[in-house]
Amino acid sequence: MRQRLSDFPQRLKDEDNTFVMRGMTMSTENQTFAEKFDLLGCIQCGRCTGGCPVTERTNLNVRRFVYDACNEAMLDELAKQAEIWDCTACHTCAVRCPKGLKPLEVLLGLRTRIVDSGKVEATVRNALESVFLEGNPWEKAKATRYDWMEGLEVKIARPGVAVENLFYVCCTIAYDPRVQVIAKNLVRLLNKAGVDYGFIGEDESCCGSEVLSLGEELLFEEIVENNTGFLNEFKAGRIVALSPHCFTTFRSRYPGLNKPAIHYTRLLAELLGQGKITWQGGLSKKVVFHDPCYLGKQGGVFDEPRRLLKGIEGVELLEFDRARERSLCCEGGGGKMWVESTSKKQRLAETRIKDARELGAAVVAVACPFCVLTLEDAMKALGLEEEMRVAEIMELLGELA
């Protein structure tokens, strides 16, 4: 693992017991694992495990990990447990914790120990090296990040030139042909509505969300430092993220940003309310909205996506029983795109598709590229592609704009 990763981030220990990481100094003064994650604040009520969605198909017991991790002598053994990679970082445990703790971060901390030891799966190693070398976890050339713009009139923001909305395209949307339609349709809609906007040029790089989830903590800190300095050079009213993963990362992990971050559904809901965008046609179908964990549980965005869907003439908007803060995770987050579960039980995405079918939904609408990929795979695995459709909201709106 550390054959190439040992070069990034470079850890040079100095005499003050700190690590100097490419110009950034981080104190490591004898803080124990229990202190770092506030484990002694846990009252062992078990609500984290009781609400954890992946316990339906794996042996993950979050409460037990939190309890055992209080013993520093057990950390290396705990880090070897396969269950630490079952966590999707959906934040259900954090939502349910009566003490306001984030039990999932204990699991991410254990992943960090494994990454530091170099004993990780090749898929994880390759994803992390790709972020370091190419600015994305998909092993794609950085120079091709904006190939999706070909044939479109995209306004590019320049540092120092004022723009109201600075758009940030996530790695998955930029490189995966299936979800590039999100960015393409959005550009067409923005141009039609006369919105003051600019997309970041060729220097855009990974926000680090999945890097942190995969346990490469120091690389994540370096990404935050570099991105913060870069993004702060732009004179923009706000950053508009296309992916909930980028949105929540900027919102909660980038304390030095000099501008707020929002998800694109909030901007479109504003434009819809102002009458600046309208739809040319309708959609006479039953649609159910799946709340992405990173957008809902972590970002607190629930109403804007529904407002957009309700604005489409003919749509009958349905609701899952497990919706909003209780939404069932699709298992696409937390680095799970690069770590396959050993469980043979039904995937949560398949459960979600079955739930949608029972509701009579013709369309499962989402607002996250990871959810599109996992739910669509589940739909195909169940042989339901002739009955249903999984579509990102921007995909639907683009067809009607």
- Give tens-digit pLDDT for 138-182: 999 999 999 999 999 999 999 999 999 999 999 999 999 999 999
Q: Is the pLDDT of residue 238 over 90?
A: yes
Query: Is the CATH number 3.40.50 carried by domain 280-400?
Result: yes
Closest CA to 145 of 178, 123, 176, 189: 176
Of all residues in the chain, what percent carry a pLDDT higher than 90? 88
Distance CA 207, CA 254 (A): 10
Strand partners, 263: 241
CB atoms within 10 A of CB 351: 19
What pLDDT band is residue 17 in, cutting at 50, 70 and 90? Answer: very low
Which pLDDT value is given to residue 29? 55
Q: Which fold has domain 31-119?
A: Fumarate Reductase Iron-sulfur Protein; Chain B, domain 2 (1.10.1060)
- Torsion angles phi and psi, residue 69, rounded to 5: -70, -10
Distance CA 316, CA 399 (A): 18
Query: 139 with 173: CB under 8 angstroms?
Result: no
Q: Is the pLDDT of residue 15 over 60?
A: no
300 DSSP 8-state letter: -
Distance spanning both ends of the chain, measured CA to CA? 47
- The residue with tokens 């042909």 is 177
Burial of residue 100 (number of CB atoms within 10 Å: 0-12, 13-18, 19+): exposed
Q: What is the pLDDT of residues 352-378, one digit of tens each?
A: 999 999 999 999 999 999 999 999 999
- The residue with tokens 């470079």 is 10
Q: What is the CA radius of gyration of the chain?
A: 21
Which pLDDT value is given to residue 359? 98
Which pLDDT value is given to residue 163? 97
Q: What is the pLDDT of residues 300-327, one digit of tens each?
A: 999 999 999 999 999 999 999 999 999 9
Distance CA 361, CA 290 (A): 11
- The residue with tokens 């996250």 is 368
Helix spans in 232-347 (H): 244-253, 264-273, 303-310
Query: 157 with 200: CB under 8 angstroms?
Result: yes
Query: 94 with 101: CB under 8 angstroms?
Result: yes
23-27, 100-104, 200-204, 336-340: range with lowest mean pLDDT: 23-27
Query: 124 with 204: CB under 8 angstroms?
Result: no
What pLDDT band is residue 202 in, cutting at 50, 70 and 90? Answer: confident
CB atoms within 10 A of CB 230: 14
If one compares 18 and 72, the residue with the highest pLDDT of the two is 72
Residues sharing a CB contact under 8 Å with residue 315, sequence separation 6 or more, in sequence order = 282, 283, 284, 285, 287, 309
Amino acid at position 113, single letter? R
Residues sharing a CB contact under 8 Å with residue 194, sequence separation 6 or more, in sequence order = 276
Q: Is the pLDDT of residue 4 over 90?
A: no
H and E: helices and strands count for the chain: 18, 11
Q: Name the token pair of 177.
A: 């042909």
Q: Is the pLDDT of residue 28 over 60?
A: no
The residue ranges of every structural domain in the chain are: 31-119, 123-271, 280-400
Q: Under DSSP, is residue 261 helix (H, G, I), strand (E, B) or coil?
A: strand
Hey, do 31-119 and 280-400 end up sharing a CATH topology, with the first three levels equal?
no
Q: Is the pLDDT of residue 183 over 90?
A: yes
128-137, 191-200, 340-349: range with lowest mean pLDDT: 340-349
Q: Is the pLDDT of residue 6 over 70?
A: no
Which pLDDT value is given to residue 344? 81
- Torsion angles phi and psi, residue 335, rounded to 5: 80, 5
30-44, 71-85, 359-373, 380-394: range with lowest mean pLDDT: 30-44
What crossing angle do the helices spanning 264-273 and 180-193 adopt, rounded to 10°? Answer: 30
Distance of CA 145 to the CA centre of its chain: 18
Q: Under DSSP, is residue 208 helix (H, G, I), strand (E, B) or coil?
A: coil
